């Protein structure tokens, strides 16, 4: 991965944000992670006129204020983000959640793995799948 990649993580858990950011930096120094604490905060930032356009959006399902499904639906209404992959990043491994979010426009689904090594491996698969 040669160019700087911006990943936007929407997750209300500070520890998950820290682990995710660390995993990305371990994969490649050119990956920059920006975080939002919930879907409402994320949408405010993404809808601003001078809003950044991330290369990837990672989205937790189980958040207060606005859950991941609602946030995903709203993200998919923003035309400039049409080609940006939204990847669900959740503790849920329920097939129903996977199918529902793919139907709503998610490009992929990552079940939060139990170790940093597994997270790095899975993130690398996803990132390389879009930047080959």
Going from the N-terminus, what domains does the chain have, and what CATH number goes with each? 5-126 (3.40.50.2300)
Please compute the mean of the pLDDT values over residues 104-114 and round it to a whole number: 96
* Residue pLDDT, tens place only, 41-52: 999 999 987 878
* Residue pLDDT, tens place only, 63-96: 988 999 999 999 999 999 999 999 999 999 999 9
* Residue pLDDT, tens place only, 33-43: 999 999 999 99
Residue 99 scores a pLDDT above 70: yes
Predicted pLDDT at 2: 52
* Residue pLDDT, tens place only, 4-25: 899 999 999 999 999 999 999 9
DSSP the chain: --S-EEEEEE-S-HHHHHHHHHHHHHH-TTEEEEEESSHHHHHHHHHSTT----SEEEE-S--SSS-HHHHHHHHTT-GGGTTS-EEEEES---HHHHHHHHHTT-SEEEE--SSHHHHHHHHHHHHHHH--
Predicted pLDDT at 18: 96
């Amino acid at each position: 991965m040669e160019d700087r990649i911006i990943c936007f993580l929407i997750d209300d858990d500070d520890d998950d944000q820290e682990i995710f950011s660390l995993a990305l930096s371990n994969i490649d120094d050119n990956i920059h992670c920006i975080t939002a604490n919930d879907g409402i905060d994320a949408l405010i930032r993404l809808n601003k006129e001078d809003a950044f356009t991330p290369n990837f959006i990672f989205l937790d399902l189980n958040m207060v204020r606005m859950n991941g499904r609602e946030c995903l639906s709203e993200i998919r209404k923003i035309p400039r983000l049409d080609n940006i992959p939204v990847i669900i990043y959740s503790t849920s491994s329920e097939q129903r959640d996977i199918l529902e979010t793919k139907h709503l426009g998610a490009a992929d689904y990552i079940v939060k793995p139990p170790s940093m090594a597994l997270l790095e491996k899975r993130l690398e698969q996803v990132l390389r799948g879009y930047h080959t």
